[in-house]
Structure 1
Amino acid sequence: MSNEDITLTAGNAEVRVSPGNGGRLSGLKVDSLELLRQGPRFGCFPMVPWCGRIRDGRFLDGGTVRQMPLNSPPHAIHGTARDGAWRIARVSADEAVITCELTDPWPHPARVTQVVSLAEDALTLTMSVETYDDSFPAQLGWHPWFNRTLDGVDARLDFEPAWQEERGDDHLPTGNRTDRKPGPWDDCFGMPGGVDVTLTWPDRLELKVTSREEWVVVYDEQTEAVCVEPQTGPPNGLNTLPRLVTPLDPLEATTTWTWRRL
């Protein structure tokens, strides 16, 4: 199947999936409101096989130190899967399944599968990393760029994390945890009961981002967008909180975005 854009519809909702541009969602419309920032680098892209920054692009893989390309010097950021084309595995009116193979520079062959399921009032994204033979540490997550302004109204952000990861001058968690500090943020937060963040554009739309995962990065330093990024571990987590993917135990996570018009 080709990797042309896929448009899914359910009721008044429409999502555009772009397998050829890193497997990202390139649009999400509710009625006539476009919720995602437009442009080839934006939308909502998958972060896999790691999320956020790896310190100096290096992580310990068993007894081997691996070096990833420094695409955000001095660090490596947001994985490799957003850089290439994904394949279309299956499409229906309201669901798409796309896959990509993890290859060089990632040292372990593996397959990533992303399922995009649209309902009239919700979008569910599920991603998995499966290995064929060897085991390795990995992370996955999503990086949506939600438009800060909808129909002339700015978003309000509401969430109650259990803690904020203290951020060092190198933008990486120091290992200390604090209470939530005032924004703007480019920070990781812990939500042990599951990610639960609400974006409200008053008198326009409410959007809830939820996940069973307990880590979320909030990035709202840009005027155009607000990013709410559920992920399976903190930044630099391949080093500090490795989650092993094995042939018997793939890594899988889900996030759901639920909306209602106000």
Structure 2
Amino acid sequence: MDPRNGCRVASLRVAGAELLRAGDRYGCFPMVPFCGRLELGEFRNGGVKHRLPADAPPHAIHGTGRSTAWRTLRADDAAAAFSYDLADPWPYPGRVTQLVELEPDKVTLTLAVETAGDSFPAQVGWHPWFVRRLSADDPGVRIDFSAAWQEQRGEDHLPTGKRIEPQPGPWDDCFGMPDGVEVTLTWPGRLELTVSSRAEWAVLYDEQPEAVCVEPQSGPPNGLNTHPRLVTPIEPLELSTTWAWRTLG
């Protein structure tokens, strides 16, 4: 874990193989308090309009947690907990926590957002960069999943609001999985890893030669505007994802 750099999972080694792309921008970072692109960096909470920095012009992207230093609350060989306080440019006070739990054949990540005052819309999710190949002669990872729909993507890379039949890749797209996310990555003859979550949306991205992304999230991109989920004093937002693996051959 690298709590100083957005509390990202910097490395995951299974059976001697590194599964995450290395680098300050990679690994697996939490997306919070929103996921993916936020149209023009703007959202409303009731009648109040807010604007966030457009760090993926003309939009904001992936939340503020990935560029924040988190505090380590506790850590041992099996589990660790981290937190940070929501602050400018996010307009509402609150706290975000991430719990990481490691077992011999899986790791579970849990994110929670709670308010320290007024209610506000929020999202949580994860952006893992899984390596495409485990070795130079690896044929490349295979991605298997079933989705009820695909969010049609506009020229601005935001969902248009129309749901379409899932399309073949390459993808930079959001898929609806109302029964929960379940996506399996298979490195033939080496390893199989399943990303699961009770989340109903996942973004799949495989347009880079080095890595692929499977991103469970509590709402679609621009969801603060299209599918707002309020964090209230009596109802925080909490979501988990589990990566379970098994060796092949």
Q: TM-score range by the shorter chain?
A: over 0.9
Instruction: Extract unaligned runs of 5+ from structure 2.
Output: none
Distance (Å, rounded) in 2 between the aligned partners of 1:102 and 1:78: 14
Distance (Å, rounded) in 2 between the aligned partners of 1:57 and 1:169: 17
The amino acid of 1:73's aligned partner reads: P
Deviation at 1:22, TM superposition (A): 0.6
Distance (Å, rounded) in 2 between the aligned partners of 1:251 and 1:107: 17
Q: Secondary structure in 2 aligned to 1:25?
A: coil
The amino acid of 1:171's aligned partner reads: H
Match of residue 147 from structure 1:
131
Q: Secondary structure in 1 aligned to 2:11?
A: strand
Whichever structure has more strand as a proportion of its residues is 1
Distance (Å, rounded) in 1 between the aligned partners of 2:46 and 2:90: 14
Q: Secondary structure in 1 aligned to 2:195?
A: strand
* 1:54-93 equivalence runs, <5 A: 54-93=38-77
Deviation at 1:95, TM superposition (A): 0.5
Instruction: Extract unaligned runs of 5+ from structure 1.
Output: 1-16
Deviation at 1:223, TM superposition (A): 0.5
In structure 1, which of residues 98, 108, 114 is the aligned counterpart of residue 82 of structure 2? 98
In structure 2, which of residues 191, 194, 214 is the aligned counterpart of residue 205 of structure 1? 191
Q: Secondary structure in 2 aligned to 1:56?
A: helix
Moved over 3 A (4+): none
For the Cα contact (< 8 Å) 2:15–2:247, is it kept in 1?
no
Distance (Å, rounded) in 2 between the aligned partners of 1:113 and 1:129: 7
Taking structure 2 as the reference length, the TM-score comes to 0.98
* 1:1-262 equivalence runs, <5 A: 17-151=1-135, 152-153=137-138, 154-262=140-248
Distance (Å, rounded) in 2 between the aligned partners of 1:47 and 1:190: 18
Number of equivalent positions? 246
The amino acid of 1:250's aligned partner reads: P
Distance (Å, rounded) in 2 between the aligned partners of 1:174 and 1:184: 19
The amino acid of 2:243's aligned partner reads: W
- Measured against aligned partners, the alpha-carbon deviations of 1:162-189 in whole angstroms (never above 9, x if no partner) come to 0000000000000001111111000000
Q: Secondary structure in 2 aligned to 1:20?
A: helix
Taking structure 1 as the reference length, the TM-score comes to 0.93
